[in-house]
Amino acid sequence: MASKDHKKAVAANLAVFNSEFAIKYDGKESQQTLALLFVKHLLEYNFTNPTSRKSPSETSTPIGDASKPHSGFTVDSSLPDPKTYLEKHPSSIFKPGMKLLDFACGTGIVSELFVPYIQGGELIGMDISKLFLERFNQRAEKITAENDLVMKSYEYDVLDEDKQDELKQFEGEFDAIVCTIAYHHIANYEQVTKKLASFLKSGGYLFIVDFYNEDVEEVSVGGGVSEAVLHMGGLKIDKLNHTLGDYAGLVNVSSAREFMVSIWQPESFISTHSRQVVIDKLKNGELPKRTAPDGDVEYLIDTSLIYAVGQKK
Ligand SMILES: C[S@@+](CC[C@H](N)C(=O)[O-])C[C@H]1O[C@@H](n2cnc3c(N)ncnc32)[C@H](O)[C@@H]1O
């Protein structure tokens, strides 16, 4: 089931995500801002008209105030109030008692933000990286001590032939699956999507959130730039729709840029994820530069995020 390319990508990703990068990951301002914005836009998603999406012009300028830490976003001021959330978003699928899978969950920095909205439910993380999952498990221990919620993780490559029997336990189990900024690391993302679709309950939603580099819509770019980053800056809108709909059999499928935000990133990120125009600005010394608290030299860039959505019949 898992191709040679898939196995190679998994090994290359483990070299990155099972390394000291895991220690730094949660402390990065960019990851904190993105996690908050991922969850905000998922919680505020329009489930009444799930395929009615924002237009390119509505999402063409960065949200927030780039001169402030985290572009001015904070958990308290930017996420919906959990006490009034369902009154304001009555059609949301994020609700108490639900079963949510955070696929490629990493350290759980995104998963954690769902906790107040899904009390009494289950929050499952799945990833290939032992080190990231150790951090997820530390989080889960603290969270489950203070909340009415099951939170646990599983270390799986969902295409691993030897694990298919074990993975059957997840079939038809989840009300929603979210996967944030991982698809551009996955070689056989079509097969992974099909597998994730099989994990959904009828009516359940799959959300693929990823970096979106508008250049990928041009035929000449978008290939792999390293063994770990298989799809430079993300996937094309048509490809995502085709994968979710025709390939994985989901309905109410749509993909669109959901928001753009200014974040601080190191050169290694920019050269493998950003638009050519941003890479050129970096080379010409035109991007704002800083030394982050962890010692990394970082540049301020505009980054687009795509949300690809599908629902199980
Ligand atoms: C950039 S991190 C994102 C982590 C988390 N979702 C977040 O938003 O902070 C990418 C994650 O994808 C995981 N990953 C890469 N390839 C994978 C695969 N084939 N199956 C599952 N997880 C994978 C990595 O181990 C890593 O945790």
Q: What is the pLDDT of residues 58-113, one digit of tens each?
A: 999 999 999 999 999 999 999 999 999 999 999 999 999 999 999 999 999 999 99
**The CATH number of the domain where 237 resides is what?**
3.40.50.150
- Evaluate if residue 222 carries a pLDDT over 60: no
| In-domain check, residue 289 | no
Euclidean distance between CA atoms 235 and 138, whole angstroms: 32
Domain annotation covers residue 218:
yes
pLDDT tens-digit series, residues 176-195: 999 999 999 998 999 999 99
State the pLDDT confidence band at 18, using cuts at 50, 70 and 90: confident
What's the whole-number average pLDDT of the chain? Answer: 94
CA of 286 to the centre of ligand 1 (A): 31
Q: Is 31 in the pocket of ligand 1 (CB under 6 A)?
A: yes
pLDDT at 231: 73
Which ligand 1 atom sits closest to the C-alpha of 34? 8
Provide the pLDDT for residue 224.
66
Question: Could you tell which of 7, 8, 17, 160 is best to mutate to test the pocket of ligand 1, judged by most ligand atoms within 8 Å of the CB?
Answer: 17
Q: What pLDDT was estimated at residue 19?
A: 76
The answer to whether position 79 is within a domain reads: no
Ligand 1 atom with the smallest distance to the CA of 187 is 19
How many domains does the structure of the chain reveal? Answer: 1
pLDDT by residue (tens digit) across 128-185? Answer: 999 999 999 999 999 999 999 999 999 999 999 999 999 999 999 999 999 999 999 9
In a domain, residue 271? The reply is no
| pLDDT (tens digit per residue) in 248-285 | 999 999 999 999 999 999 999 999 899 999 999 999 99
Residue 291 lies in a domain: no
19 within a domain of the structure (yes/no): yes
The predicted pLDDT at position 12 comes to 86
- 194 in a structural domain: yes
Which domain, by its residues, includes 221? Answer: 4-61+92-260+304-311
The verdict on residue 68 lying in a domain is no
